[in-house]
Structure 1
Amino acid sequence: MSNINQVGASNPLDQYSIDKKAPPKADRGELGKDQFLELMIAQLTNQNPLEPKENGEFIAQLAQFSTVEGITNMSGGFDKLATAMKSSQALQASSLVGGAVTVDGQQESALRYGDLVFGTANITPGADNLVLQIEDEFGQVIESVALGPQPSGELAFKWNGLDLEVNGKWADIDYDKFETDEDGNPFPHPEGNYRFRIMGNVAGQNMAQAVSMSSRVDSVSILADNTVKLNLENGKDTTLDKVTRINHVF
């Protein structure tokens, strides 16, 4: 397994070329394409012109040889292309180091001073009375914010430990509960891990909405099978197929 922390300037695709290769040699005891052509030509040369033999089987077999050879060459080309795409994907993923990505189904996010945490939720059609709850690492609810009417589908929000923006609009936060500095400016919640959940009323029942939260990318690893793994803060990791949103580089 190798780690990537920087992106080089070279194009990862330059090292790969999809050239036609000579077809593999036939195993002994099996009729190769060249031998088959020699036999076919010999039969055509020596046959009675007044009673030509049926050559349909020869033609069908020749077509089969061509098809197999083409598939073999194509398969090798696809293997090279797949490897090139993996290398390109790894280099692209390395550009995420230091940034934040939203991971499907992850409900926790780490807050750092001066940074934002990002989240999305899939709002069920017909859901109302939506409330966003934020819990600290001890399970205590430190924020419970009414979101007001929201359309179904994806809801996006971001939080800096103090202010909450939901779908581009500022949420109504009770700032009176925060301690303030000498100028009256409120202090945000302390750094740490926070869990986010959104509850809503659906057909008379209180139902949790699917939430996905962001994490900072610390490094990128390439596994033995060429899978690209993102190593996240707090020892977590994920793969690119689980990243639902790329937020920004801090």
Structure 2
Amino acid sequence: MAGINDVGQSGLSYIDQLKQLQDQKKPDETTGKQDLKQEDFLSLLTKQLAQQDPFKPVGNDQMIAQMASFATVDGIGKMNNQFETLNDSMTSNQALQASSLVGRDVLVPGAAGIKQDNAGMAAMVKLPKSLDNLMVRVEDAAGQLVRTFEVGAKPAGDTRVEWDGKDQNGNPLPAGKYKVRAAGLLDGESKEFPVSTYANVNSVLLGKGNGNVLLNLAGFDSPVRLAEVLEVGKA
């Protein structure tokens, strides 16, 4: 047997024979897995040895190199399977740990939050610099302004703001989804700042094979990833 690209008695080079073998080992339509294993490479190697030119037999270095290649391919396949198993295990552990969040409030990015009956709503504002006066606007689900109030001077960093759940006239507003917006003068210009809101965790679920753990939040149409949670609040 000569090199990888040499042609044997079958008229096909090693690469061509390997491709032909791979075509015969097409992925299963149900599982999507490929059955090409190290035994197949060894079978091909045996055929090559039988078809080699007796006047130019394969050298030991070539034999060792090809065996090493076969072992490497098989080892990579086994390692990938082990990583998949490890990933599944880590995802399950994350889901188990995340189950302790059910019934608790978590802080997630986004200005929209849920107000409960006879209660207010809290949010977190991230300020790049200190402000002389932070202004907060609250809008209902339709985008209508229901309340504005001043928070006053605040330093740079995360600032917690609380809305009492009432409109501009002091009347309690119904439960539902509301949006909190925060703005102020920064370097002489009016700027709006990122806001995060609290939501209650209803349940925990696993992502669709992507290793993500998702949280179903009360009042939210779609789940959020556990990795997006910024803070865990009270139960």
TM class by smaller structure: 0.5 to 0.7
Counterpart residue number, 2:95: 90
Counterpart residue number, 2:214: 229
Whether 1:26 aligns to 2:47 is no
| Cα distance between partner residues in 1 of 2:196 and 2:133 | 20
Three-state SS of the structure 1 residue aligned to 2:219 is helix
> What displacement does 1:236 show?
2.2
> What displacement does 1:148 show?
0.3
Contact 1:135/1:143 (<8 A) preserved: no
Counterpart residue number, 2:112: 108
Contact 1:107/1:197 (<8 A) preserved: yes
Contact 1:131/1:199 (<8 A) preserved: yes
Contact 2:132/2:154 (<8 A) preserved: yes
Contact 1:99/1:216 (<8 A) preserved: yes
Aligned residue among 187, 191, 195 for 2:179? 195
AA paired with 1:25? E
Q: TM-score, normalised by structure 2?
A: 0.64
> What displacement does 1:203 show?
2.8
Aligned residue among 134, 137, 150 for 2:138? 134
| Cα distance between partner residues in 1 of 2:102 and 2:120 | 16
Query: Which runs of structure 2 are paired with 1:70-85 in the superposition (5 Å)?
Result: 70-85=75-90
> What displacement does 1:243 show?
2.2
AA paired with 2:44? E
AA paired with 2:98? A
Three-state SS of the structure 2 residue aligned to 1:76 is helix
> What displacement does 1:113 show?
5.0
Three-state SS of the structure 1 residue aligned to 2:90 is helix
Q: Which runs of 5+ in 2 are unaligned?
A: 1-36, 50-57
AA paired with 1:222? L
Residues 233 and 132 (structure 1), Cα distance of their counterparts in 2 relative to 1, 3 Å cut: same
Counterpart residue number, 1:244: 229
| Cα distance between partner residues in 2 of 1:178 and 1:126 | 30
Query: Which runs of structure 2 are paired with 1:7-46 in the superposition (5 Å)?
Result: 24-26=38-40, 30-31=44-45
- Identical-residue share of aligned pairs (%): 28
Aligned residue among 63, 66, 69 for 2:71? 66
Whether 1:161 aligns to 2:164 is yes
Q: Which runs of 5+ in 1 are unaligned?
A: 1-22, 40-52, 163-173, 180-187
Q: Render the CA deviation track for 1:188-208: whole Å, top value 9, x for unaligned.
A: 765443221110222322111
Three-state SS of the structure 1 residue aligned to 2:40 is coil
Contact 1:121/1:209 (<8 A) preserved: yes
Instruction: Name the structure, 1 or 2, with higher relative contact order (CA <8 Å, separation 6+).
Output: 1
Q: Render the CA deviation track for 1:76-104: whole Å, top value 9, x for unaligned.
A: 10010011112122222222211112222
Greater helix percent: which structure?
2
Contact 2:213/2:226 (<8 A) preserved: no
AA paired with 2:219? N
Counterpart residue number, 1:167: none
Q: Render the CA deviation track for 1:196-243: whole Å, top value 9, x for unaligned.
A: 111022232211101111211112233543643322212422232562
| Cα distance between partner residues in 1 of 2:162 and 2:154 | 19
Residues 100 and 114 (structure 1), Cα distance of their counterparts in 2 relative to 1, 3 Å cut: farther
> What displacement does 1:135 show?
3.2
